Amino acid sequence: MSTPDDELVRRGRAALALARDQMPVLEGIRQEAAADRPLAGHRLAGSVHLTKETGVLVQLLTAAGAQVAWTGGDEVSTQDDIAAALSAEGVQIYGRRHMSTPQVHEAATETFHAFPDGPTLILDNGARLIDMAAASLDRLPHLRGATEKTSEGSRHIRELATTTAFPFPVVSVNDVVTKWEVDNTYGTGQSTLDGILRATGAFLAGKRFVVCGYGHVGRGVALRARGMGARVVVVCRSAQTAVRAHVAGFQVQPLHQAARHADIICTATGHPDILTAPHLDLLPSGAMLCNTGHSTTEINLAHLAARTRSVTQIRPHVQRHHLHDGRHLDLLSGGGLVNLDAAEGNPSEVMDVTFANQALVTLDLARHPDRYPPGVQDVHAAQDEEVARRKLAAMGVRFDALPVPATGGGTREEQPA
């Protein structure tokens, strides 16, 4: 567990205060939860990118009465100043920025086992902690529920549910309209381009920009790259998403064809081994490789290393791989999440919506434990509408409101990558 440093704590508190000012929906929920403290007595284990926005969520959870253990759950996504500030407030923090993959897993394991009697609630990002829970259900009698906030993680928990009978609810907070549109598409689209520009200083107009995947994240990246004048090509593995990309005006090609002419190639699928040896062999010299999916596995780094003669760190977030055949390829952020490593992740205003959904479900699991049955569940449509209403009110936007049902099923739609 990390030890606070005075200067890191000061910087972290300043960053948290700035983020809180830009997250009015979450702040309103915090004030409500601080009044009745529905999480009092709960032990909460969280694995979500430890940015300043996540820190505001963690502060809400502690204000609601929870004991909290947390890890960033990724090689590059933990902001050490935020970790220090939360640690100084009594949150058990595991991990740091720039960990190795084994260290990431170790930090997640420490978070999961931070409480002698185990967690009562889990907040996850990529289903790492939920996987651990699924492997030890008989030893977790006090676990009351879990939430998962990513596309990849939501896909994984649904697959896991085909072989695992969860005795508690596992709620996908990714699969709601407010999360899909505000966070995945517009938030990650903007922060990915922000990361690429900060990392490289590249001029995007006229560049051949290949986006691998056209789910919500891939669509956002493609839209933002086109908006900056890039010539965007979309690569899909689903006929449905290929149709969406085509009718949106993007050129659609197989990856082996698109790779031959790519100036920039960005993976955005949540699946491993998207960019592998055959594609690396086709890329033109000088191509930039980056990832904004969920993990470091979308670009096969072992295949890249096998073709590399030497590596030069040409900029803080850019490694130039000099290949045996004379070409060079520029790898951004070590193949990790470029928007979190080279930039600051999604803007606070965006994460206000996503974390509002995750916070409301977590509080609901404590206040009304019977509202969600065991197994994988969707967020109720009424909650999604309520989050949208709160956000619109915070922005001063008025609309012709229709009656909203008090209860309802989920809002999930299948969205292939």
**Over the stretch 106-126, which tens digit does the pLDDT of each residue have?**
999 999 999 999 999 999 999
- CA gap 265, 191 in Å, rounded: 16
Residue 281 has what pLDDT?
98
What is the tens place of the pLDDT at every residue in 43-72? 999 999 999 999 999 999 999 999 999 999
Is-contact 49 191, C-beta < 8 A? no
Longest dimension (CA), the chain: 65
Under 8 Å between Cβ of 57 and 26? yes
Among 206, 207, 236, 233, CA closest to 222: 233
Q: Which residue type, as a one-letter code, is found at position 266? A: C
d(CA 199, CA 413): 34
The pLDDT score that the predictor gives to residue 175 is: 84
Tell whether pTM > 0.95. Answer: no
Nearest to 38, CA basis, from 50, 30, 27, 46 = 30
- The low-confidence residues of the chain, meaning pLDDT below 70, are 1-4, 403-417
Q: Residue 404 has what pLDDT?
A: 56
Query: Looking at residue 401, what is its pLDDT?
Result: 77
